[in-house]
A and B are shown apart, each in its own frame.
Chain A
Amino acid sequence: MNVYDTELEEHPIVTQQHQNYSTNGELGYQGYTPAAVYQGNNELDRDDDPYQLYPQDALLRNRMPTAREAASGIEEIIMEMPSRTIGRGMGGHIGTMVNATLARRSASRYRKRQLVTLGTFDGIERPNDEIQELYEELADEQTGEIDNEELRQFPVSMAVKKQVRSHANENREKKKSRTVGSFKIWRYNMSIKWRHFKQDTKKFAQNFRLWQQDLKQVEGHFGTGVSSYFTFLRGLFLLSIPSFIFNFAFISLPQLLQQPNRTDPNITFTGEELLTGANWLTETIMYYGYYINGTIEAIPGSEYDMPLAYLLATAGYFVLCLILIVRTTASSFRQNYVDGRSDYNNFISKVFCAWDFGITSETAAKLQHKTITTELKEILSEQRRSGESRDFQEKLKLFSLRLLTWTLYLSLTGGCMALVYFVNDFLLDDIKKGLGGIVILEQIALALIVSSINLIMPIIINLLTHLEKYKYPRHEIYIAVFRNYILKMGLIAVICAFWTDDELKSTSNDNNGSATVECWETELGQEIYRLVIIDFLFTIFFATFCAEFLRKLLVLLLDGKEMCRKLDRAEFAIVNSVMDLIYGQTLCWIGVFFCPLLAGIVFIKYFFMFYIKKVSVMQNCRPSRKRWRGGQSQTIFIGMLLLSFLLSAIFLCVVVFREVPSTACGPYRDQDRSYDVVVNLFNSLYATSSGQWFATIMDIIFSVWFLYSVAAGLLVWAVIKSSEAKGYEELVRSLRAQIELQGDDKQLLLKWLQSTVANQNGKPPPTGGAFQGGKENHVVPILHHRDSAKSTPCPSRSASARNSPKHDINAPMTGDVLTYVDPQHVQASHLVGERMMATTSFSNPSQISLRQREHKDPLLHKALANQQRPRSMFVEGVPSSYDTQRRNSFAGASVDLEDLDTETVYEEILSDPNGPSPLLLALSAKVQAEKSQSSERRPGYGRGGY
């Protein structure tokens, strides 16, 4: 008994749980009192209090406990399991909530898992009751209908699904006869119809998915990393379609119907406008300046207020984009980030998510094998090294290095921005001097410079970041992306700031001499047009043609030469390409107010980009040697897109609300602010008598109190949601703790089993751990037969094994002898099987057919050798007082620890027609004895806890 107590003392959780139990008991916490659990678990014995009926001296009187005693003993065991005491430990409601949820979820989950493994073999009709069970699990309780979505999500074979469906059809007739309120039926029908409608539209849209085959092709050769670039591109392309239609329909089309006269009719289209976006194009629907400030009456009897339409359509465009982007961001975030602590499941995702199932080419597959190996080896050696922390000198060196690189980066970025500003300033003078004599190069100079910066700087940034020696490659990527982003946004910001500068406009207002900018909105629009076009050409020419195609030619040309063995085809630069896309899209958002057709241009650009990039990738690139983990970076990219969008929206808000529009052009030439058209609209509405109610509503909406209350409401909502999220976090943590405690249950049960068995044999119980050495011990581990090569119908086997633990305990044993020994007896490993057979006194050897098997599991070996818990155990000794029949069921029993769940043990006791297994009887007797020995304050099983 002493040993037993020491074991308990060693079990900190048990000890702690006991203390918690006592405090919560005093607080009147009812949920987990022993009686409650007892009554809830066993209706048969509800009237009998086991503590009174059966004096706790079973073992002292040296008689075997009856089944009933055993049952009550087992209940106590279950009650005292660490996992059962979790509710007490957490106190009050959370405990109840956790346990209720746990019970509900796990019950459903368990049932589903059970049903999933239904044997589903070809042509064999499943028994009706199994189908019925599955049906009941899935069907709606009221209508008996089965939702297709639910059935689809159920991992059983098509044959079973079909059977369940036909079963549902039969049952529906029966269910319908039941009396249900007509409103309820109507509501149900509506909800079902709605669901069907949603599913149908989803499937309908699925038919029109773009570029599916191209994506598959790319993914087959380059894996998900490269294909994530193309999906991103496809997303932007799809976004630009409704945007273009929206802008064209509400802004450009009306203006096309009623075209104002050109100021200079002599300018003709020469072709160079496509590049520069100037000259002839200046006075077309392309730019802000062309739009009139009056109404359009192209269709007789209708008045189309152009200024208002221009503003509202742009606002509508932004709202549309906002909805689409926020939706994508949210779903991506939900998928990839919620609770996805990346450091935490490093190894798991590197193993179980390593293989790209979509890969089709053999070279890619070979490379992937290699990549995975290298990555695993790297991460392992990294882990081994992580113990050695960098010493002070190294840290100092690293710090100064990073300081240097940051300074370098910041000065470079600042330099680039300054360069752009001064070039712009310099060019402006020329533009002011006279519009006629400007050569093309001068017009596109700025765009060329910006695009060159965008081409070269990312390379420098990547280099700098690489020099900084970040511990994880992921951090390196993120930092490079961040710097890249800052640079690109900085460049755009400089250009925007330049053209919205007040000084510029004041010169145009003063009208002194020839130095005027007539229409700064159009100028900015043209600048952005050029940036978009030149950026596209640069991407095609440098990034695709030079870096990929020419490099491939070079490789082919120099193939086999000694000096260029290291030169290989280019890898597709995912990060930089995606950054370019984000940059282009930001330009589009910024420019859309000044150049309404920009969405259309971008649309065309994306279309060509997709095909050019795809052909280039397929022809010129080689698969990456590094694995690209798309999940989280994709979320980061989408997040950056959202940020870009918000920045653009803020900029445009500033333009609309604050900036003075040009007086010579555009729909707002006679307004102080663009926003004034909306104010005027309201004013005119207020003036009309029918607009009185509208005015009242507007007054309310814009009143301070209303805005305050809306803000307060939002705040409250956010607080509620965040606390809800915290609650879920808490729940997750508790469930986790629960699982861990369940693991402790197994541990504890195992210890009891061991000491019980040892006591019954009259031998001293093993101290401390489970197995000492492998030589003298009477407890020998057996590994259940787990040979995948054997073609047993496994699903059904494992299902039955799970459903009835009996099967495992009483079945004739076929298994592998695990030839484990402790490290000192390695040479004897092949003898273990024989020795075991010799020293084992089975009552019925015919039940046992053991196959010797070589030990190949290093972990298990270590677990056993280090006296950790084994996975299963074999009990050899049988006390002589048992009758032979019982011994038969006892000896040769292999108790798989996975099956030794407290619940199943309990069920086993109650359901076994032959009476409880002696092993469990003995176990329960031991518990009873422990209880009697412990103090009389309350039932317990050891002194250790108090």
Chain B
Amino acid sequence: MGTTTSHFTQDELQEYSDLTYFTKKEIVYVFKKFSELDPDLVSSDKYCRIPKEKICQMPEMKVNPFNDRICRVFSTSRNFDGSLSFEDFLDMMSAFSDQAPKSLKVEYAFKIYDFNEDDLLDAEDIEMVINRLTGSAEPLSEKEMDQLLKNIMNEADLDDDKQLSYAEFEHIISKSPDFLNSFRIRI
């Protein structure tokens, strides 16, 4: 651990620890995981950005149907290429950690599911979510999709505008007991 600790000063670690839900030890561990994604790049420059493709090699991300969205949401890259710096990566792991509160998770979940990034979940977004969830092997028929979308809107769309605003999404998700369990990646 001695080698990885030396990548950051104590002050830096303290700051990261203050701003995330991790302890210093865990931050060092997260950095280890980060550098494993692309050891050469990280060893030459710890502020480097790891491209999306490499991030998606992480076991959790590899099988995740929303991996590109997750990269996109957490990336602060100027080119919008979904590449993650260590700070972005830390942000991501912190949001997915066990300790992160529901409010933060809901916020990020909303961003991830908002494919067209208009700050609203419309039928198009939700259809995309469902399609990715069911996978390409056996998608829902058009009729089923129709019915499902209608049901979702019935449940969540309080103001009847056929789109879910953040408030509506938060309202309905906060009633879903399974959300916290599912929206979690252990480090």
Residues of A within 8 A of B (CB): 109, 113, 116-117, 120-124, 148, 151-153, 155, 157-159, 161-162, 165, 202-204, 206-207, 212, 215-216, 219-220, 224, 228, 335-337, 339-342, 344-349, 351-362, 364-366, 369-370, 372-373, 376-377, 380, 383-384, 629-632, 635, 736, 739-740, 742-744, 746-747, 784, 786-788, 791, 793-795, 797-798, 802, 856-860, 862-863, 869, 871, 897-898
A121, A383, A791: which contacts B76 (Cβ < 8 A)?
A121
Taking a contact as CB atoms under 8 Å apart, the answer to whether B175 and A153 are in contact is no
B107, B160, B169: which contacts A155 (Cβ < 8 A)?
B107
Q: Which residues of A contact B150 (CB under 8 A)?
A: 859
Tell me, yes or no, whether B43 is within 8 Å of chain A by CB.
no
Chain A min CB distance to B112 (Å) = 10
Known A345-B175, A347-B155; contact A860-B162, beta-carbon cutoff 8 A:
yes
Taking a contact as CB atoms under 8 Å apart, the answer to whether B178 and A122 are in contact is no
- A352 and B180 CA atoms in complex are apart in Å by 11
Known A351-B126, A740-B158, A743-B158; contact A859-B149, beta-carbon cutoff 8 A:
yes
Tell me, yes or no, whether B148 is within 8 Å of chain A by CB.
yes
Q: Which residues of B contact A635 (CB under 8 A)?
A: 177
Q: Which residues of B contact A352 (CB under 8 A)?
A: 109, 113, 129, 169, 173, 176, 179
Chain B min CB distance to A376 (Å) = 6
Q: Which residues of A contact B137 (CB under 8 A)?
A: 369-370, 373
* 30 A-B pairs with C-beta separation under 8 A: A121-B77, A122-B49, A155-B111, A157-B74, A158-B16, A159-B87, A216-B186, A220-B59, A335-B177, A348-B152, A351-B133, A355-B65, A355-B133, A357-B184, A364-B63, A372-B133, A376-B148, A380-B144, A384-B147, A629-B178, A631-B179, A631-B180, A632-B177, A746-B159, A856-B124, A857-B123, A859-B123, A859-B149, A897-B161, A898-B163
Taking a contact as CB atoms under 8 Å apart, the answer to whether B60 and A348 are in contact is no
Taking a contact as CB atoms under 8 Å apart, the answer to whether A739 and B167 are in contact is yes
Taking a contact as CB atoms under 8 Å apart, the answer to whether B135 and A373 are in contact is yes
Taking a contact as CB atoms under 8 Å apart, the answer to whether B87 and A353 are in contact is no
- A347 and B138 CA atoms in complex are apart in Å by 19
10 new A-B contacts, CB < 8 A, other than A113-B166, A336-B177, are A204-B23, A206-B99, A335-B102, A352-B113, A358-B186, A369-B137, A373-B134, A373-B138, A376-B140, A788-B117
* Nearest neighbor of B18 in chain A, beta-carbon distance: A148
Tell me, yes or no, whether B104 is within 8 Å of chain A by CB.
yes
- A372 and B144 CA atoms in complex are apart in Å by 14
Q: Which residues of A contact B163 (CB under 8 A)?
A: 871, 898
A155, A207, A632: which contacts B95 (Cβ < 8 A)?
A155
Taking a contact as CB atoms under 8 Å apart, the answer to whether A158 and B19 are in contact is yes
* Nearest neighbor of B99 in chain A, beta-carbon distance: A206
Chain B min CB distance to A169 (Å) = 11
Tell me, yes or no, whether B62 is within 8 Å of chain A by CB.
yes
B16, B169, B177, B187: which contacts A340 (Cβ < 8 A)?
B177
Taking a contact as CB atoms under 8 Å apart, the answer to whether A740 and B159 are in contact is yes
Known A207-B25, A360-B60; contact A743-B159, beta-carbon cutoff 8 A:
yes
A113, A366, A631, A793: which contacts B181 (Cβ < 8 A)?
A631
Chain B min CB distance to A370 (Å) = 7
Residue of A158, A202, A383, A384 most packed against chain B (CB within 10 A): A158
- A113 and B96 CA atoms in complex are apart in Å by 20
Tell me, yes or no, whether B17 is within 8 Å of chain A by CB.
yes
Chain B min CB distance to A775 (Å) = 23
Render B34-71 as a binary contact track against A, CB cut-off 8 A, 1 for contact: 00000000000000010000000001101111100000
- A766 and B81 CA atoms in complex are apart in Å by 47
B69-89, CB < 8 A from A? 74, 76-80, 85, 87-88
Taking a contact as CB atoms under 8 Å apart, the answer to whether A795 and B117 are in contact is yes
B interface, over-half SS: helix
- A359 and B64 CA atoms in complex are apart in Å by 8
Render B16-36 as a binary contact track against A, CB cut-off 8 A, 1 for contact: 111111110110000000000
Taking a contact as CB atoms under 8 Å apart, the answer to whether B175 and A372 are in contact is no
Q: 4 tightest CB-CB pairs across the interface, nearest first?
A: A743-B159, A631-B177, A369-B135, A365-B63
- A872 and B104 CA atoms in complex are apart in Å by 31
Known A739-B167, A798-B119; contact A152-B20, beta-carbon cutoff 8 A:
yes
* Nearest neighbor of A83 in chain B, beta-carbon distance: B159
Q: Which residues of B contact A797 (CB under 8 A)?
A: 117
Taking a contact as CB atoms under 8 Å apart, the answer to whether A739 and B173 are in contact is no
Taking a contact as CB atoms under 8 Å apart, the answer to whether B60 and A358 are in contact is yes
Taking a contact as CB atoms under 8 Å apart, the answer to whether B181 and A794 are in contact is no
Taking a contact as CB atoms under 8 Å apart, the answer to whether A871 and B184 are in contact is no
B113-156, CB < 8 A from A? 113, 115-120, 122-124, 126-127, 129-130, 133-135, 137-140, 142, 144-153, 155-156
Taking a contact as CB atoms under 8 Å apart, the answer to whether B155 and A121 are in contact is no
Taking a contact as CB atoms under 8 Å apart, the answer to whether B87 and A351 are in contact is no
Known A121-B76, A372-B133, A786-B118; contact A349-B161, beta-carbon cutoff 8 A:
no
Taking a contact as CB atoms under 8 Å apart, the answer to whether A372 and B134 are in contact is yes
Chain A min CB distance to B5 (Å) = 15
Taking a contact as CB atoms under 8 Å apart, the answer to whether A369 and B134 are in contact is yes
Q: Which residues of B contact A791 (CB under 8 A)?
A: 79-80
- A384 and B134 CA atoms in complex are apart in Å by 20
Taking a contact as CB atoms under 8 Å apart, the answer to whether A354 and B133 are in contact is yes
- A153 and B91 CA atoms in complex are apart in Å by 11
Chain B min CB distance to A130 (Å) = 15
- A151 and B140 CA atoms in complex are apart in Å by 41
Known A206-B26, A373-B140, A739-B168; contact A630-B175, beta-carbon cutoff 8 A:
no
* Nearest neighbor of B70 in chain A, beta-carbon distance: A357
Chain A min CB distance to B28 (Å) = 12
Taking a contact as CB atoms under 8 Å apart, the answer to whether A355 and B177 are in contact is no
- A631 and B183 CA atoms in complex are apart in Å by 12
* Nearest neighbor of B135 in chain A, beta-carbon distance: A369
Q: Which residues of A contact B22 (CB under 8 A)?
A: 206
Q: Which residues of A contact B124 (CB under 8 A)?
A: 786, 856-857
Q: Which residues of A contact B161 (CB under 8 A)?
A: 743, 746, 869, 871, 897-898
* Nearest neighbor of B91 in chain A, beta-carbon distance: A158
Known A860-B162, A871-B161; contact A358-B177, beta-carbon cutoff 8 A:
no
Q: Which residues of A contact B181 (CB under 8 A)?
A: 224, 228, 353, 356, 630-631
Render B98-110 as a binary contact track against A, CB cut-off 8 A, 1 for contact: 0101111001110
B118, B138, B179, B184: which contacts A358 (Cβ < 8 A)?
B184
* Nearest neighbor of B186 in chain A, beta-carbon distance: A216
Q: Which residues of B contact A744 (CB under 8 A)?
A: 159-160
Known A369-B133, A793-B80; contact A346-B155, beta-carbon cutoff 8 A:
yes
- A787 and B176 CA atoms in complex are apart in Å by 30
Taking a contact as CB atoms under 8 Å apart, the answer to whether A348 and B176 are in contact is yes
B19, B116, B139, B151: which contacts A152 (Cβ < 8 A)?
B19
Taking a contact as CB atoms under 8 Å apart, the answer to whether B160 and A784 are in contact is no
Known A335-B180, A342-B177, A743-B161; contact A348-B135, beta-carbon cutoff 8 A:
no
Q: Which residues of B contact A123 (CB under 8 A)?
A: 78
